[in-house]
Amino acid sequence: MSSMIISTGGTGGHVIPAKVFYDYFKEKFNVKIISDKRGLNFIEKENYNVNEIHIPQFKKNFSILIFPFFLIASFLKSLFFLKKENPKLLLSTGGYMSIPHCLAARILNIKIFLFEPNLVIGRSNLLLLRFCKKIFAYETNLKNLPSKFLYKLKVVKPIVRKEFLKQKKTSPSDKELKVLPVPENDKYKFELIYSIEFDTRISIGPAKYICYVSATTGELLMRKNTVLYEAPAPIIHVEGELYTTHPYNPATVEDLVNLKIENNNNGSTYYTDNNGNVNINANLGTSITYKLEGLYAQVQTNNNVPEFTQALNSSSNVSFDNSNSTIQERTAYLGLQSRT
């Protein structure tokens, strides 16, 4: 059986299509997935043959001088991995994390295929177009696709997970045609559809989906999970850039531990743990105040404690920076902590 590699990683938007492709191709190929650390959060290792080749995520505080060396290291790991596996082809579901894998495949003369689920071609796929055999997309008019590569475009129907087809159930009422209004260019286009229900499992538990399928094209127009889950309380990480040794040495981003946090809606007080994390049991949008004081330290400038207030959101990182405090104040807070 021929070998095939699926390159993915990063967010669920890249990883979920890779899992769908894996389920379809595993009957014809010996399939393996390569993903970075972030992508592994969306992959059930007991169900998929997955290998980790980590591609670092470029962040604002990540040195631009160090980042290329990480990319080169990732490229060399990909090169050795692909040479060992000797796959017949490599399928990339997009994202910057697939670039080293595709470049390594190019050097080894492995056929490269790209997948683009969006209306606008991504920057990584745009870069890799010159090396691929085909790029699969849902749209004929894929935006930003250079005309010289139009011959590589292959339009496909939206991919559907296998269990959607295997587990679908219909009742007598489901077999009747229904009409679904679909927004299009500030108007509605009315589609004849079939309504299909099926039970399955997702990463957090059981699911029951209602799907609307076009009666003319078979395209999946909409799906909704009718099993609702309560979102967990947000876990916030608080950090700040400061001096850990001497002002002449470069500043680093450090966790702010034992830091006081106040819920302005109900007056509740929280403190960060030894990793700078805190679990805030409040709804998104709640007004939260972060202060440079805590269980064992308090920083004041002209009798004022540096603080800032913002609405609680799904972002996991909160930073004390020069917009809400000085680097001297943040350094003082860490220094007082280290003395306790």
Which CATH architecture does the domain made up of 235-338 adopt?
Sandwich (2.60)
What pLDDT score was predicted for residue 60? 53
Q: Residue 253 burial by CB count (10 A; 0-12/13-18/19+): exposed, middle or buried?
A: middle
| Rounded mean pLDDT, 12-28 | 90
Q: Alpha carbon 115 to chain centroid distance?
A: 17
Q: pLDDT exceeding 90 applies to what percent of the chain?
A: 46
How does 195-214 read in b/e, with b if 16+ C-beta sit within 10 Å?
bbebeeeeeeeebebebbbe
Evaluate if residue 337 carries a pLDDT over 50: yes
Q: CA of 173: how far to CAs of 150, 177, 198, 224, 302, in Å?
A: 44, 9, 15, 18, 73
- Residue carrying structure tokens 């009798």: 303
Residues 274 and 150: their CA atoms lie apart, in Å, by 54
Contacts of 72 (CB under 8 A, 6+ apart): none
3-state secondary structure of 305: coil
Q: CA of 15: how far to CAs of 40, 95, 242, 301, 329, in Å?
A: 9, 10, 36, 48, 42
**Entry pTM:** 0.51
List pLDDT tens digits, range 64-109.
666 677 778 889 999 999 999 999 999 999 888 899 999 999 999 9
What pLDDT score was predicted for residue 324? 92
| Residue 94 region by backbone torsions, left for phi larger than 0, else alpha for psi between -120 and 50, else beta | left
What pLDDT score was predicted for residue 214? 85
What pLDDT score was predicted for residue 173? 46
pLDDT band at 170 (very low <50, low <70, confident <90, very high): very low
What pLDDT score was predicted for residue 59? 59
Query: Which residue ranges does the chain devote to CATH 2.60.40?
Result: 235-338
Beta bridge partners of 112: 90
Question: Backbone phi, then psi, for 39, in 5-degree steps?
Answer: -65, -30
What pLDDT score was predicted for residue 229? 72
pLDDT band at 6 (very low <50, low <70, confident <90, very high): very high
More confident residue, 283 or 243: 243
Residues 56 and 70: their CA atoms lie apart, in Å, by 7
What pLDDT score was predicted for residue 269? 93
Query: Which residue ranges does the chain devote to CATH 3.40.50.2000?
Result: 3-155
Candidate from 148-152, 232-236, 269-273 with smallest mean pLDDT: 232-236
What pLDDT score was predicted for residue 43? 92
Mean confidence (pLDDT) of the chain: 86
Q: pLDDT exceeding 70 applies to what percent of the chain?
A: 89
| Rounded mean pLDDT, 318-325 | 91
Evaluate if residue 282 carries a pLDDT over 80: yes
3-state secondary structure of 129: helix
Residues 233 and 290: their CA atoms lie apart, in Å, by 17
More confident residue, 262 or 229: 262
- Residue carrying structure tokens 């009666």: 215
pLDDT band at 33 (very low <50, low <70, confident <90, very high): very high
Evaluate if residue 132 carries a pLDDT over 70: yes
pLDDT band at 307 (very low <50, low <70, confident <90, very high): very high
Which CATH architecture does the domain made up of 3-155 adopt?
3-Layer(aba) Sandwich (3.40)
List pLDDT tens digits, range 139-158.
888 889 999 999 999 998 87
